[in-house]
Amino acid sequence: MKQTTVFFALLLCVAALRAQTLDPIYAYTFTPDTITNTESDTLLLPVDFVSPWSYVYHAVMDSLSGTDTLLFIVQESVLKSGNTDWITIATGAGSKGVRTRISGALIYGRRQRIIVNGSGTQSTRYSITFIAKKVFK
């Protein structure tokens, strides 16, 4: 009985560790949102990257009113938590009807986020999908 209990305890530990690791491909779609005028949204990926990954963000915009221009800033941090260690690693811009792609060969940090900045007088709906592929060496 004791061996069975130990076996199931180990099995639960392995399952918990497996839940924290990522499959070779990771995809995440942020909830679509709207930017008005010069607002800014910061979207944090809900995952830690602890090995090399290549990545791409796809953004689609739809102008609701005004002249739409959105700036996308990708940042990463090597820290597990906190808000002071972010560095900008890529940028991109987009407007109505244009699909914007921001990609990178490797994620060097542990966490990533994308900041969406509005410009001018506008109301623009956007949606962003993130896809990463684990780099095997």
Segment 98-106 shows an average pLDDT of: 90
Radius of gyration of the chain (CA): 19
Alpha carbon distance 58, 54 (integer Å): 14
pLDDT of residue 16 exceeding 60: no
Alpha carbon distance 41, 120 (integer Å): 15
CATH of domain 24-134: 2.60.120.660
Give the model confidence (pLDDT) of 110-135 as tens digits.
Answer: 999 999 999 878 899 999 999 999 99
pTM: 0.79
φ, ψ of residue 93 in degrees (nearest 5): -135, 155
pLDDT of residue 87 exceeding 90: yes
Best CA proximity match to 122, nearest among 37, 61, 41: 37
pLDDT of residue 24 exceeding 50: yes
Residue spans per domain, the chain: 24-134
The neighbour count for residue 106, using CB atoms within 10 Å, is 12
Contact 113, 44 (CB under 8 A): yes
Alpha carbon distance 84, 97 (integer Å): 34
pLDDT of residue 28 exceeding 50: yes
Higher pLDDT, 5 or 38: 38
Angle at 19 between CA 18 and CA 24, to 5 degrees: 70
